[in-house]
Amino acid sequence: MTKYPTNKSHTHRTDGFTLAELLVVVAIITVLVAVSVPIFSSQTAKAKAAADQANVRSAKAAAVSAYMTESIGEETTYYYDAASGTVTSDYSAAASIAGYGKSTVAVEGASGLPNKNGKAQIITVSVAKDGTCSMSWGLGTDLDSYLVRAGETAQTLSKYYSDTDLIHAMKALEEFPSTSVSSIFNDAVLYNSGDTLYWRPKNVTINGTATMILYAYPSDTDDHANWKAYAFYYNGTIYRSTNINQYNQKIDNNNITANSQLTDAVNGSTDHWEAVQ
């Protein structure tokens, strides 16, 4: 019998993966991604914390060096610029320092959050007379920008301007910045207050040093609100009133002209004000 050669061109070979094999590959990739993402996120968080802690150490060294060089002899607050590795005690200059905080959780060595509500903060170092230091993360907020503008406006006023003059001038330039009551007091009920607090600038003395703060009252008129406040803002921190109205047990305002009470609050006392964490 004659055998005829097979025409290989008519032979069909199926190359590729079956659906089952593809599903297995997809499942493996999914597992690898699920495992690697948390590991990557953890390493990123550690890297951010390490960078923030390095800046804390550098800020302390720079502040102590400046304090010893300047021989001030009084408690002094410094603001650290990570870009230049230097510190300044000028609040207006500090407000223009670019934020560099990265972590969204607290890191060792300084209170507060390096990155708060998506805004990078800078390090503040307070050096006491005995050389001890306390450090915190702050600035980098809209209130700081407003304080800078208030300081610049004050320089355009007469040499002997009053705080009322400054309040009128700022109100004429722009609306007072506002904050919801709940963002400061949570669910607590305030006496004789609406849902919003409005910030005004005022010159005060804290720890023996003249400085400018903002104080909050539930009115956006251009007056000084009888120098009453439910909160004040200083050095990157909001302090809220702890004054309780004896008749209805609601939180009441405090007199913002009492420099000793402001100083006590900044130094940790909660008799009249307390820091908002």
Per DSSP (E only), the strands in the chain are 76-81, 86-88, 115-116, 119-120, 122-127, 133-138, 178-180, 196-206, 209-217, 228-229, 231-234, 237-241, 254-255, 273-275
Cβ atoms within 10 Å of 180's Cβ, excluding its own: 11
Q: pLDDT digits over 175-186, tens only? A: 899 999 998 998
73 and 146 fall within a common domain: no
Predicted structure pTM score: 0.60
105 and 217 fall within a common domain: no
Domain with 250 in it: 142-275
Please report the pLDDT score of residue 3 as a whole number. Answer: 56
Distance of alpha carbon 183 from alpha carbon 189, whole angstroms:
12
Which residues of the chain fall below pLDDT 70? 1-15, 36, 39-42, 71-72, 91-92, 95, 140-141, 277
- State the Rg of the chain over Cα: 29
Last residue in a domain, options 118, 138, 158: 138
What tokens does 88 get? Answer: 């300044």
Please report the pLDDT score of residue 126 as a whole number. Answer: 83
In sequence order, what are the beta bridge partners of 136?
Answer: 111, 124
Q: Give me the DSSP letters along 105-157.
A: S--TTSBS-SEETTEE-EEEEEE-TTS-EEEEEE--SHHHHHHHHHHHHHTTS
Residue recorded with tokens 């320092």: 97
CATH number at residue 239: 3.30.1690
Please report the pLDDT score of residue 68 as a whole number. Answer: 85
Last residue in a domain, options 138, 171, 196: 138
Q: Is the separation of the CB atoms in 218 and 198 below 8 Å?
A: yes
Residue 246 included in any domain: yes
Distance of alpha carbon 262 from alpha carbon 114, whole angstroms:
25
Q: Output phi, psi for 18, to 5 deg.
A: -80, 165
Q: Is 197 left (phi over 0), alpha (psi -120 to 50) or beta?
A: beta
Cβ atoms within 10 Å of 223's Cβ, excluding its own: 12
Closest by CA position to 108, among listed 59, 49, 63, 44: 49
The number of folded domains in the chain is: 2
Please report the pLDDT score of residue 156 as a whole number. Answer: 92
Please report the pLDDT score of residue 218 as a whole number. Answer: 92
Please report the pLDDT score of residue 40 as a whole number. Answer: 64
151 and 254 fall within a common domain: yes
Please report the pLDDT score of residue 188 as a whole number. Answer: 87
In the chain, the percentage of residues whose pLDDT exceeds 70 is 89
